[in-house]
Amino acid sequence: MGEKRKRGNANVAGAGASADNQHETMPTSPADFFQATPKVDLHRHLEGSIRLSTLIDVAREFDIELPDLDKLGSMVQVTQDDPHTSQNFLSKFEVLRQFYRSPEVITRITEEAIADAAADNVKYLELRFTPSTLARSGNYPLGEVMDWVITATLKAQAEYGVTTRLIVSVNRHESTHLAAEVAHQAADRLDSAIVGLDLAGDEANFPAVPFAPIFQEARQAGLKITIHAAEWGPAGNIAQAIDLLEAERIGHGVRVLEDQSVAAMARERNMTFEVCVTSNYQSGVVAEVGEHPFKKMIEAGLNPTINTDDPAISGITLSSEYALVGDKIGLTQAELQKRITAAVEAAFIPAGEREKLAATLGGISRMR
């Protein structure tokens, strides 16, 4: 499952070290190698990136009623004894929804999520968040929630040296009226850190089609579009995401090879897949990590990237994910480094910024 994520107030002062300094000591293990490698994460949920120590602090401050505070970890993290099902995985978020109690809490979890990315040598992060979820406990205005996350992101980006862009998410099980309001508020903030709009949630039971006009309008307004598809639903959901919702990237998409016509469409459109291997295993998408179709996707001419999804819930880092894909799925270090390049090329930033990011990551090939 990869190395466990370090909790608490980790010392991240060295996370912004230069590539030259990182090359002074050649890492020996795969985990050390990828910890020393500057990386890109295109698919990380803020709500799934909260430190356990922070949750404990919030529970005590706001007297959140829990059966047993000492067992909070098993309530918000996937454990060895947990069933690998989508229901169990999503149940962690049900517990987490109790904790977004104030602007200060939302600010703290945002800053800490970026600090933790920096500690893992992530140089570019696209952090997605669901304003309606963060707003619910305090009945906060959606726009104010977005502003809190934006302000915290800009502060943490400057402090920790991680270029961070925000993707706003809406859920399939919520109303299209709410989704439209979120999309409009996000479009109004395009001159900030917000760059994209995402459709997430229960893919198996709630279709994407009703949201198509909202996403079409959002793209016309300048928002980039990524859609969770073919994670728990069929490959055909990818075709819907591309044709109806105008997706520029696909979240997960690991069932794409079940329909060769859809795979051909994705190949022709040069779609990037934001794949999250441990998440797919823990939520029952694949029975074993070694059975994950990641390598087969590459062999089929598709473009998967490696991402974390919900690192705190899964107990992982992006470094441990790279090591896991190498160990269990059989990609070489050179092949894994190509996945970092693929993520850079798919980043929701202008071409000039993408070139600067590529230059920042240019030292990775010298570590071989």
Q: What is the pLDDT of residues 163-192, one digit of tens each?
A: 999 999 999 999 999 999 999 999 999 989
pLDDT digits (tens, 9 = 90+) for 25-60: 555 688 889 999 999 999 999 999 999 999 999 999
Residue 317 clears pLDDT 90, i.e. is over it: yes
**Given 47, 203, 231, 274, the catalytic residue:** 231
CB atoms within 10 A of CB 6: 13
Whole-number pLDDT of residue 27: 55
pLDDT at position 363 over 50: no
The rounded distance, in Å, linking the Cα atoms of 214 and 144 is 21
Coil, strand, or helix at residue 93?
Answer: helix
Distances (CA, A) of 210 to 67, 203, 207: 39, 13, 7
- Whether 181 is catalytic is no
Report the length, in residues, of the chain: 368
Under a CB-based contact definition with an 8 Å cutoff, are residues 253 and 277 in contact? no
pLDDT of residue 41: 98
What pLDDT score was predicted for residue 26? 52
Inform me whether the pLDDT recorded for 13 exceeds 80: no
- Look at residue 18 and tell me whether its pLDDT is greater than 80: no
pLDDT reading at 151 higher than 80: yes
In this structure, are strands 122-129 and 163-171 parallel, antiparallel, or unpaired?
A: parallel
Taking the CB of residue 29, how many other CB atoms lie within 10 A of it?
10
Rounded average pLDDT over 298-312: 98
Task: Reduce the DSSP state of residue 92 to 3 states and report it.
Answer: helix
**pTM for the structure as a whole:** 0.91
78 touches 314 (CB < 8 A): yes
pLDDT reported for residue 333: 92
Q: Architecture of 26-367 per CATH?
A: Alpha-Beta Barrel (3.20)
Residue that has been written with the tokens 């897949």 in this structure: 273
pLDDT of residue 28: 64
